């Protein structure tokens, strides 16, 4: 180890330190991924009047990005704004990357525009930044500018652009990028490009996706996971499992993601035999302590009709998170074990696990089957309020449905007013509750408010409002609305 680095690590003074000595210290901390130490060292440099250079500043700005130290990074930018350092492309790239990772895309663009020298790394930094900040069309537009400037994209550029094209469903642009990758050997040499193409084509067509995968010369575990996940997402569970087997035959070692996806596939085809084999693979490869994997296995056993195996797995796990409790409670309700579900909910709270929105939604779903369901439902509603839960569409609609089931119109109206966002299901439930409880005029009034909102009525809306119709004229009016 270099002497200045050694002394610095022991908090001993360094006599007459030079910039290169400080750079060595910062590089050392960067190698250890000690971002706090990097910023502390830079602060020490500032206090001693040591000027940074294009070696130290990029590392310091990267540390700021990783620590989300936005104000610190802005301060560094301000201190060098009117110096010659701003002409350095490495520092410009580091600033663009810092601002992009902080979500400050306009600041990143400002730095980019001020740079006279722009290399491929700088262009890539802003293209990736646009994608990170969900500015997909801007990323594609910047790529066009880059090409007009005579720069050739590399694998990193292609991967970012395919992601942008996927998000805005730009099939033609993505196909052109695919062609460029083929012509320039990027597809054959870089598995990341192939994987990005799989992700892109999955948005449009599984057949083209499969052809792309089959033509890949270089595949890695990410590529395999992407194509297997694609088949699971469209319900082609058997094909997903066949590909998983082929992956093993080809000598590719599965990972955590592979396990999660294959467990879902087993649940999809309802194969308890395959599910148990995958469970054994989980145990042999030390994934059995991972709660995401355990949760997937619990759901798989439940969906395959093996409630007892779900229960045994749940009881075997010593450390449980709220997601695992939710899955077990949900399984109890699915199999009609309502009292056990209530008992588990109480036990979860006693053990100090805080419920989330999904817990409340699950528990509300069982209220209508309980003798004291309304009381339980109101308690859950109060708990959601007390916990500061957001009344989103999922939680709000479940509450509306529960109150409507018990004909508590006032509670339906109150819950509706608490919702931050109301979708067509919310409106339909409110209209139906009013109409079915003799409040036809109020139902028509709400229907009118709905039509003036951004929510478009559907066939269920018509069914709901028909309950408020008292004569043939009224029905004719509804039929006219259906035509509009």
When pLDDT is averaged across residues 448-469 and rounded to a whole number, the result is: 77
Is 332 domain-assigned?
Answer: no
Same-domain check for residues 403 and 449: no
Region 82-100: mean pLDDT is 92
Whole-angstrom distance, CA of residue 424 vs CA of residue 189? 49
Domain-located, residue 89: yes
Percent with pLDDT over 90 in the chain: 63
**Is the same domain home to 237 and 195?**
no
Mean pLDDT, residues 373-401 = 90
Residue 99 lies in a domain: no
Domain tally, the chain: 5
The stretch 420-427 carries a mean pLDDT of: 87
Claim to verify: residue 223 and residue 312 sit in the same structural domain: yes
User: Same domain for 310 and 249?
Assistant: yes
182 plus 123 within the same structural domain: yes
Alpha helices in 184-253 (DSSP H): 186-189, 191-201, 206-214, 221-233, 237-249
Residue 280 falls within a domain, yes or no? yes
**Is 112's pLDDT higher than 60?**
yes
- Residues 6+ away with beta carbon under 8 Å from 250: none
Q: What is the pLDDT of residue 346?
A: 94
> Comparing 45-49, 66-70, 363-367, which segment has the lowest mean pLDDT?
45-49
| Segment 337-348, tens digit of pLDDT | 999 999 999 999
Q: What is the mean pLDDT of residues 419-447?
A: 86
Residue 111 — pLDDT band, cuts 50, 70, 90? very high
d(CA 332, CA 307): 8
**What pLDDT score does 476 carry?**
56
pLDDT confidence band for 475 (50 / 70 / 90):
low
pLDDT of residue 313: 94
For residue 100, is it within any domain?
no
Rg (CA), the chain: 29
Q: Label residue 272 by pLDDT band (50, 70, 90).
A: very high
- Comparing CA positions, the residue from 283, 368, 354, 347 lying closest to residue 321 is 354
In a shared domain, residues 209 and 230: no
Whole-number mean pLDDT of the chain? 88
Q: How far apart are CA 402 and CA 369, in angstroms?
A: 11
> Span 317-329, mean pLDDT?
93
Report pLDDT for 470.
60
Burial class (CB in 10 A: 0-12, 13-18, 19+), 211: exposed
Domain match, 8 and 86 both: yes
Residue 156 CA from chain centroid, whole number = 22
Q: Which helix (H) or strand (E) holds 78?
A: helix 70-80
Task: Give the residue among 21, 81, 79 at the shortest CA–CA distance from 55.
Answer: 21
Residue 274 binned pLDDT confidence (cut-offs 50, 70, 90): very high
Residue 477 lies in a domain: yes
Alpha-carbon span 135 to 103, nearest angstrom: 11
pLDDT tier at 478 (50, 70, 90 boundaries)? low
251 found inside a domain: yes
Domain final residue, candidates 218, 238, 254 = 218
- CA atoms 10, 11, 14, 19: torsion sign: positive
Q: Are residues 408 and 446 in the same domain?
A: no
Domain boundary, last residue among 201, 218, 235? 218
Q: Is the pLDDT of residue 321 over 50?
A: yes
Position 218 scores a pLDDT of 84
250-263 mean pLDDT: 94
E-assigned strands of 5-106? none
pLDDT at 351 over 70: yes
pLDDT at 54: 87
Residues 391 and 483 in one domain: no
Domain with 63, as residue range(s), is 1-94
- Residue whose C-alpha is closest to residue 222's, from 199, 245, 188, 251: 199
Choose the weakest-confidence range: 99-113, 179-193, 236-250, 268-282: 179-193
Domain C-terminal end among 193, 218, 243? 218
Check if the beta carbon of residue 223 is closer than 8 Å to that of residue 216.
yes
String of b and e for 265-274 (b: at least 16 CB within 10 Å)? bbbbeebbeb
User: Are 204 and 229 members of one domain?
Assistant: no
Cβ count near 340 (within 10 Å):
16
Same domain, 59 and 147: no
CB atoms within 10 A of CB 372: 9
In a domain, 381, yes or no: yes
Are 63 and 3 in the same domain? yes
At residue 185 the predicted structure's pLDDT band, cuts being 50, 70 and 90, is confident
pLDDT in tens, 4-33: 444 454 444 555 667 788 888 999 999 988
What tokens were used for 474?
A: 């009224």
Q: Is the pLDDT of residue 431 over 80?
A: yes
């Amino acid at each position: 180890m270099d002497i200045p680095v050694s002394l610095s690590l022991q908090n001993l003074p360094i006599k007459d330190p030079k910039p290169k000595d400080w750079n060595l210290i910062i590089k050392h901390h960067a190698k250890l991924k000690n971002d706090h130490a990097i910023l502390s060292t830079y602060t020490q440099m500032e206090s001693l009047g040591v000027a940074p250079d294009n070696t130290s500043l990029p590392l310091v700005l990267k540390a700021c990005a990783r620590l989300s130290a936005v104000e610190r990074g802005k301060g560094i930018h301000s201190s060098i704004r009117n110096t010659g350092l701003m002409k350095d492309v490495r520092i410009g790239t580091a600033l663009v990357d810092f601002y992009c990772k902080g979500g400050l895309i306009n600041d990143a663009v400002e730095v980019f525009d001020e740079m006279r020298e722009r290399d491929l790394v700088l262009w890539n930094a802003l293209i990736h930044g646009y994608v990170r900040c969900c500015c997909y069309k801007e990323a594609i537009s910047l790529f066009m500018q880059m090409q007009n400037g005579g720069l050739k994209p590399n694998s990193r550029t292609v991967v970012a652009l395919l992601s942008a094209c996927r998000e805005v469903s730009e099939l033609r642009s993505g196909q052109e990028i695919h062609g460029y990758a083929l012509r320039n050997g990027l597809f054959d040499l870089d598995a990341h490009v192939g994987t990005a193409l799989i992700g892109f084509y999955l948005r449009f067509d599984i057949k083209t996706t499969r052809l792309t995968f089959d033509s890949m010369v270089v595949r890695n575990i990410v590529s395999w996971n992407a194509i297997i996940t694609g088949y699971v997402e469209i319900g082609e569970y058997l094909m997903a499992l066949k590909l998983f087997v082929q992956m093993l035959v080809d000598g590719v070692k599965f990972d955590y993601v592979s396990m999660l996806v294959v467990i879902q596939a087993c649940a999809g085809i309802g194969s308890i035999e395959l599910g148990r084999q995958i469970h054994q693979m989980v145990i042999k490869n030390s994934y059995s302590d991972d709660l995401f994997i355990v949760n997937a296995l619990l759901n798989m056993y439940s969906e395959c009709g093996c409630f007892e195996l779900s229960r045994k797995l749940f009881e075997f796990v010593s450390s449980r998170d709220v997601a695992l409790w939710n899955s077990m409670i949900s399984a109890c309700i699915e199999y009609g074990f309502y009292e056990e579900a209530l008992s588990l909910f109480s036990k979860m709270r006693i053990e100090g696990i805080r419920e989330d929105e999904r817990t409340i939604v699950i528990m509300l779903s069982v209220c209508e089957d309980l003798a004291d369901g309304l009381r339980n439902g109101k308690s859950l509603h109060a708990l959601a309020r007390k916990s500061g839960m957001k009344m989103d569409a999922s939680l709000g609609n479940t509450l509306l449905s529960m109150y409507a089931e018990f004909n508590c119109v006032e509670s339906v109206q109150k819950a509706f007013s608490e919702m931050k966002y109301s979708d067509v299901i919310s409106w339909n439930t409110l209209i139906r509750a009013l109409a079915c409880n003799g409040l036809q005029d109020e139902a028509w009034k709400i229907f009118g408010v709905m039509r003036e909102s951004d929510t478009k009525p559907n066939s269920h809306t018509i069914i709901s409002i028909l309950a408020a119709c008292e004569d043939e004229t009224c029905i004719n009016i509804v039929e006219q609305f259906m035509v509009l």
